[in-house]
Structure 1
Amino acid sequence: MTDNNLPVLNAEVAIEKGLTTADAAKRPIKVIQFGEGNFLRAFVDWTIQQLNNNDLFGGNVAIVQPISQGRAKELAAQDNLYTVVLEGLKNGEQVQSRELIDSIGKSLSAVGDWEEFLALADEPEAKIIISNTTEAGIALDDSDTAETVPPKSYPAKLVHLLKRRFDNGLPGFLIIPCELIADNGDTLKKYLLELADKFGYGEDFKAWLENDNKFFNTLVDRIVPGYPRDRAEELWNELGYVDNNMVKAEPFLLWVVSGDAEAIDEALPAKKLGIDLVTPESVKPYRERKVFLLNCPHTTLASVARLAGVATVGEAMNDADVRPFIEKEMHEEIIPVLSLPEDELNKFAEAVLERYANPFVKHALDAIGLNSAAKYVTRCLPVLLNNVKEGHGLPKRLVLALSGLIYTYGGLAEGKVNISDDPAVVAKFEEAAKSENYAATILADASVWGQDLTEVEGLVDAVAANLEAIKAEGMRPLIKALA
Structure 2
Amino acid sequence: MPHTEKTPIIQFGTSRFLQAHADLFLCEGTPARAITVVQSSGDPGRAARLSALADPAGFPVRIRGIENGRVIDEEHRVHSVRRTLSTATDWPELENLVIDEAEIILSNTGDNGFDPCPSDTSAKFDQAMSYPAKLYHLLSGRFLAAGTPLTIFPMELIPENGRVLRERVLEIARQQGAAPAHIDWLNACLWANSLVDRIVSEPIDPVGAVAEPYALWAIENQPGLTAPTVHSAIQMVDALEAVERLKLHILNLGHTVLASFWKDGVGNPDALVRELLREPDGRRMRRVIEDEVLPGFAAHQMGEEAEEYLATTLERFSNPFLDHRIADIAQNHPQKVARRITAFLAWARTADPGYCAPTLEKIAAEGAPS
TM-score range, shorter chain: 0.7 to 0.9
Structure 1 residue 249: Cα displacement: 1.5
Paired position in structure 2 for 1:104: 81
Paired position in structure 2 for 1:445: none
Whole-Å separation in 2 of the counterparts to 1:165 and 1:374: 42
The CA deviation string for residues 117-176 of structure 1, in whole angstroms up to 9 with x for no partner, is 743654522211112234443444566313472344332222122112222322222111
Paired position in structure 2 for 1:22: none
Structure 1 residue 317: Cα displacement: 3.0
TM-score, with normalisation over the residues of structure 2?
Answer: 0.78
Matched-pair contact (CA < 8 Å) for 1:121–1:161: no
Whole-Å separation in 2 of the counterparts to 1:124 and 1:364: 47
Q: Which has the higher strand share?
A: 2
The CA deviation string for residues 362-389 of structure 1, in whole angstroms up to 9 with x for no partner, is 3466887999999887656633655798
Structure 1 residue runs of 5 or longer lacking an equivalent are: 1-24, 229-242, 404-458, 464-483
Whole-Å separation in 2 of the counterparts to 1:379 and 1:135: 18
CA separation of 1:205 and 1:85: change in aligned 2, threshold 3 A: same
The CA deviation string for residues 403-460 of structure 1, in whole angstroms up to 9 with x for no partner, is 6xxxxxxxxxxxxxxxxxxxxxxxxxxxxxxxxxxxxxxxxxxxxxxxxxxxxxxx45
Which structure 2 residues correspond to residues 311-460 of structure 1 after superposition, within 5 A?
Answer: 312-321=272-281, 323-324=282-283, 326-327=285-286, 330-331=289-290, 334-335=293-294, 337-338=296-297, 339-363=300-324, 382-383=343-344, 386=347, 395-397=361-363, 459=368
TM-score, with normalisation over the residues of structure 1?
Answer: 0.62
Which structure 2 residues correspond to residues 13-412 of structure 1 after superposition, within 5 A?
Answer: 27-51=5-29, 56-57=31-32, 59-67=33-41, 72-78=46-52, 80=54, 81-110=58-87, 112-113=88-89, 115=91, 118-119=94-95, 121-122=97-98, 124-141=100-117, 144-147=120-123, 149-211=126-188, 213-227=189-203, 243-260=205-222, 263-265=225-227, 267-270=228-231, 275-298=232-255, 308=267, 309-310=269-270, 312-321=272-281, 323-324=282-283, 326-327=285-286, 330-331=289-290, 334-335=293-294, 337-338=296-297, 339-363=300-324, 382-383=343-344, 386=347, 395-397=361-363
Matched-pair contact (CA < 8 Å) for 2:99–2:142: no
Matched-pair contact (CA < 8 Å) for 1:222–1:252: yes
CA separation of 1:172 and 1:370: change in aligned 2, threshold 3 A: farther
Count the aligned residue pairs: 354
- What secondary structure does 2:76 align onto? strand
- What secondary structure does 1:172 align onto? coil
Identical-pair percentage = 27
Matched-pair contact (CA < 8 Å) for 1:215–1:259: no
Matched-pair contact (CA < 8 Å) for 1:63–1:72: no
Matched-pair contact (CA < 8 Å) for 1:310–1:316: no
Matched-pair contact (CA < 8 Å) for 2:10–2:105: yes
CA separation of 1:312 and 1:105: change in aligned 2, threshold 3 A: farther
Whole-Å separation in 1 of the counterparts to 2:106 and 2:336: 20
Whole-Å separation in 1 of the counterparts to 2:210 and 2:117: 33
Whole-Å separation in 1 of the counterparts to 2:115 and 2:147: 26
Higher relative contact order (CA 8 A, sep 6+): 2
CA separation of 1:172 and 1:397: change in aligned 2, threshold 3 A: same
AA partner of residue 289 (structure 1) = L
Q: Which has the higher helix share?
A: 1
Whole-Å separation in 2 of the counterparts to 1:38 and 1:379: 26
Whole-Å separation in 1 of the counterparts to 2:328 and 2:206: 17
Matched-pair contact (CA < 8 Å) for 1:219–1:257: yes
Structure 2 residue runs of 5 or longer lacking an equivalent are: none
- What secondary structure does 2:201 align onto? coil
- What secondary structure does 2:237 align onto? coil
CA separation of 1:32 and 1:70: change in aligned 2, threshold 3 A: farther
* Structure 1 vs Structure 2 CA RMSD: 3.8
CA separation of 1:133 and 1:260: change in aligned 2, threshold 3 A: same
Matched-pair contact (CA < 8 Å) for 1:151–1:157: no
CA separation of 1:362 and 1:331: change in aligned 2, threshold 3 A: same
Matched-pair contact (CA < 8 Å) for 1:177–1:218: yes
- What secondary structure does 1:291 align onto? helix
AA partner of residue 162 (structure 1) = L
The CA deviation string for residues 189-237 of structure 1, in whole angstroms up to 9 with x for no partner, is 12221221122222221111112x1111222233322327xxxxxxxxx
- What secondary structure does 1:362 align onto? coil
Whole-Å separation in 1 of the counterparts to 2:156 and 2:364: 23
AA partner of residue 52 (structure 2) = Q
